A and B are shown apart, each in its own frame.
Chain A
Amino acid sequence: MARQDADHTAYLLGLADDALIYCQRLGEWVSRAPQIEQDMAFGNIALDLLGQARALYTRVGELDGSGRDEDQYAYFRTEREYRNVHLVEAPRGDFAHEMARLLWFASYQCGLYAALTGSRDETVAGVAHKALKEVDYHRDHARMWVLRLGDGTHESHDRMQAALTWVAPYVDELFADDTAAVEAAETGVGVLPSQLRSQATVFVQGVVNEATLQMPAEPPRHERGGRAGVHTEDMGYLLAQLQHIRRSYPDATSW
């Protein structure tokens, strides 16, 4: 496999892993959200992300020559082979934490998929066209909740503000340019994450202002390592839950 193809697949794997792992975290909310409507919202958003992940894994399987299908990527890789950012693997906090995370992640994905509609890889462009409509809706959902909580009661305002502070150290990694992204951008398949930062930040800043909240101060450190397969302790537990049934019955053909 040529080096460019390897970077191309590594790049797409990162995008797919972000979607799958966040899908798994959002799925944990079902039956735990403050209202049944929010159970459904999380379930629906997770389902959209799962669909995006499936399409991208399938594409990676075509490109890397391994003949692996989507399940092989989702269920039969080890922790170090996952390229997702730490933002999506961080454990579930309260509802405000999830809205802070979703606001940043959906804002990032809106810029990402908008750029990828022009990808040289036609399959990736097709996935992006479809996903863009979905993540725009996710972003709007997060926006409305951040406004409601921030501009709500003292309690909801304080907890929304605390949530923005909690998410801050995870944001930088979304927009960090790793080798695979640089190569993918050079070949016209992908987009440099750093180019997506200002648009996403402007959007989040606008919501934060309107919600009478403050952008948190620069965090003392930034999370790093996810794109290189280095994860936090929480990732192992997440994967155990995600993978154990499939691995327990590796020959199963239906569920």
Chain B
Amino acid sequence: MVNTLTDDELTTRIRAVPDPEIPVISLDDLGVIRELRFVGDVVEVVMTPTYSGCPAMQAMTDAVVQVIESAGRRPEVRTRLTPAWTTDWMSEAGRTALRQFGIAPPGPVGMTIARRVVACPVCGSADTQEISRFGATACKALRRCRECGEPFEEFKSL
């Protein structure tokens, strides 16, 4: 089956491509898709990477290319560095999905660590402490809830 999707349907599919590391959020939730244009049978996508060295970016690009090609269109995926990606671009739906997945969503950028409240994604308590500033991926830190005792990951504000 080739070229049976409308532009709107294909747009939805591209935006719904999941993050390879955190599959509960999509590229649209992350805010990495900055532009999406249809020019003839070419689909132009402009993406802004999250972290300079994030290995997931390549997987995201490959997935977008695959979605476009499987719809019988020609992908042109470009990277744009400026303005730099920020967690403020993450959607509310994405933040809710992160929380339900057990990852505390990022707070507003620019708030100092002392003033920032990171609520436990399990019990909602604000009484949590940082265990490690770096986690299993570039975008996360490790915390622990003093209330329910649960260790959890926090999506760092960037």
Contacts and interface: CB of A to CB of B under 8 A. Distances in A.
Contacts of B135: 40, 44
B81 A134 contact: no
A52 B52 contact: yes
A37 B131 contact: yes
B40 interface: no
Given A41-B132, A41-B133, A44-B138, A130 B53 contact: no
A45 B138 CA distance: 8
Interface in A76-131: 122-123, 125-127, 129-131
Determine the main DSSP class of A at the interface with B.
helix
A130 B52 contact: yes
Contact of A130 (B55, B81, B136, B156): B81
A40 B138 contact: no
Interface residues of B, number: 22
A55 interface: yes
Contacts of B55: 47
Interface string B84-99: 1100000000000000
Contacts of A126: 80-82, 84
A141 B83 CA distance: 25
Contacts of A174: none
Contacts of A61: none
Nearest to A35: B132
Interface in A1-60: 37, 40-41, 43-45, 47-52, 54-55
Contact of B54 (A51, A122, A132, A141): A51
A179 B49 CA distance: 33
Contacts of B131: 37
Contact of B51 (A41, A134, A141, A144): A134
9 contacts: A40-B132, A47-B53, A48-B51, A48-B138, A51-B54, A125-B82, A126-B82, A140-B133, A141-B134
Given A126-B80, A130-B85, A131-B52, 8 more contacts: A40-B132, A44-B138, A47-B54, A48-B53, A51-B54, A130-B51, A134-B52, A140-B133
